[in-house]
Structure 1
């Protein structure tokens, strides 16, 4: 944890022609954790004792990495386990300033079901008993379970109720390191960034149901009697032709009554019926556009008397603990590069510094590893004495690449 002060322009006499140097804003770094001192993290992070079977953490850079030391983070180690660990920092309020929460996640195994989100807690939280029911301020980060749930959770506590974002933000699911950033501003706007690109943005009132809606349907409004919602109508000027009505079937003129037909025994003779070529079907007037069409009537909205704006939606007081309180089906997730600050640009630069170069190197190293493993897996088993001798010889290329 460090509190950094930005450079401030010096004071003193200036000539009238000298340009005013811009004064840099003060940057506050409320919390920062990069797990770069091996097991010392255990002095800063407290593992909950609420359950006796919580999963264990270790420091690891994973199966592949950009930098073995720089990329070490806090890794889950046991499958199908709950995990609960947290770190405390000096309490602060975000009133009147931007709140930025940022960290990296890497699924060292392809995750099937598990949370990788963080939570922010108030100062009075008991870290020794931290659990899924512990009251928190903000929950943020990726959450995966099966094929249907692969989202970024953004949940806010407002007046002791929890509100989930009503947008579907897709999270990353591969086994590379990814940077997650949440920005909450005093003007009630927010951004969710993944790898320093905006994945979702908007207004707190619009994307969370903290407050009643500003407008409601006017229950007293009634559709006017004259309102015509018929887009098309039958043409009142269209008249049925006089020769339209013809029978659908007529007697076949080519059939004659048989000579041996006995009407007393066989009944009255009638020729068989055939389709009438003059039959035109049931007459209907043609359809035209309704000149009186008013559109679909929409019941008007009115101001909701229960709605009251709340400019303090973004505020949290005595923010003091950050924690991982998660369940993981498949372990191996690595958490690193935690940062809480009030400066968006500073967070972006820090993200590029801590994650950006690592990510590029990760890809390159992964490509080299895949190439080497392919060579090993594709290598045929030697046959015969000569091949056995060849088998005993080491492949220098493979060794070097590994």
Structure 2
């Protein structure tokens, strides 16, 4: 297997352009830590985390403090272009201390030339934002956001994720942007979403609805109707919903003078058929779903490639509740096969060995937790108010 992977890397690497690659074996030598005016900044480090398979191989860019803002950038080794060629962005992330009472993100951004590394923040323009957005077990998804003429376009339908391991282990995220206007997103080297960019994001489309085309007043778009031949049965409304309980008897100690006239309690009437309504039949006047006619979109640029960028830098700009997120194996290239081969080589052996390592670490370091412990967020200081995370994310997007 190792030989096959090495062979694949060699074959694809010969024709690949690698714009950036970092496994953090040399620390943070490529990266510049930024600051945000008025924000309490967290400290970055390079560590393998609290538990690991290989101490050196698993070292990654690590968030070390709770409830902090983080900013860091690195120039690409070569300018990255998606104009007329493929663009692949890939990285791994392990979120050691994710608590399901809180939401958090782990996005990487492709940045244009001229971005100021020392002050990089959420107000800075980015070209692509990609990575996981974690919130509980069931609403985790991957963000892939494109910038178009100053507007950041979110995907119409989210790319949902299900973490069978409760997201404790290292996962690999891969975005493949193609010059023919299509895309594919992988999670742990498995395809999770693909299609046409123009259909799945809010880029200008070739045709749009004619704003002057209105639905005719006599247009019938109800597929079903009440059967005019169906009549309510005679006496239907005379059947009450409840009746006095026929099995009830007046208690022996009931006194009409003191307790009033005794009445049997009411029970559901077994003969009651509910509110009557006529049966439904196909509507013979149905004309189908009305849609306005299509006209040419003046904002659509014929022959112009969507999501075409000239990237110069990468950056993480985050608000983090819990420390312990580790980013690793960051890659920007024009070759999806090379990216997959690097994933097999660098990421897969790590995840395959993590379950056993984590179980051993838990036995040695975690006391028995009371019911409802960490996942309910009980170790969070309720007196410490986090910033308005939703507002921060909206500003970022």
Question: Do Structure 1 and Structure 2 share a fold, with TM-score over 0.5?
Answer: yes
Cα separation, partners in 2 of 1:212 and 1:347, compared to 1, 3 Å: same
Cα separation, partners in 2 of 1:329 and 1:179, compared to 1, 3 Å: same
Match of 2:336 among 320, 344, 350: 344
Match of 2:125 in 1: 135
- For the residues of structure 2 that align with 1:7 and 1:114, how far apart are their CA atoms? 37
Match of 1:91 in 2: 79
Rg comparison, structure with higher value: 1
Deviation at 1:108, TM superposition (A): 1.4
1:234 aligns with 2:223: no
Cα separation, partners in 2 of 1:110 and 1:306, compared to 1, 3 Å: same
Match of 2:53 in 1: 66
CA contact (8 A) 1:223 1:299 kept: no
Q: Give unpaired runs (5+ residues) of structure 1.
A: 1-5, 9-22, 249-283, 379-402
Match of 1:30 in 2: 19
Larger RCO, structures 1/2 (Cα 8 Å, 6+ apart): 2
- For the residues of structure 1 that align with 2:176 and 2:334, how far apart are their CA atoms? 9
Match of 1:115 in 2: 105
- For the residues of structure 2 that align with 1:32 and 1:182, how far apart are their CA atoms? 15
Deviation at 1:362, TM superposition (A): 0.9
| TM-score normalised by length of structure 1 | 0.68
- For the residues of structure 1 that align with 2:81 and 2:207, how far apart are their CA atoms? 28
Cα separation, partners in 2 of 1:88 and 1:291, compared to 1, 3 Å: closer
Q: Give unpaired runs (5+ residues) of structure 2.
A: 1-8, 239-275, 370-397
Deviation at 1:293, TM superposition (A): 3.8
Deviations 1:211-230 (A, max 9, x none): 15724157445548596956
Cα separation, partners in 2 of 1:47 and 1:373, compared to 1, 3 Å: closer
- Which stretches of structure 1, 4 residues or more, deviate above 6 A after TM superposition? none
Cα separation, partners in 2 of 1:127 and 1:222, compared to 1, 3 Å: closer
| TM-score normalised by length of structure 2 | 0.69
Number of matched pairs: 314
- For the residues of structure 1 that align with 2:220 and 2:119, how far apart are their CA atoms? 64
- For the residues of structure 2 that align with 1:72 and 1:287, how far apart are their CA atoms? 68
Deviations 1:147-195 (A, max 9, x none): 7853322111111111111212234452210001111000111111110
Secondary structure at 2:32's aligned position in 1?
A: strand
Deviations 1:343-374 (A, max 9, x none): 01110111111100111011222233345568
CA contact (8 A) 1:66 1:360 kept: no
1:195 aligns with 2:185: no
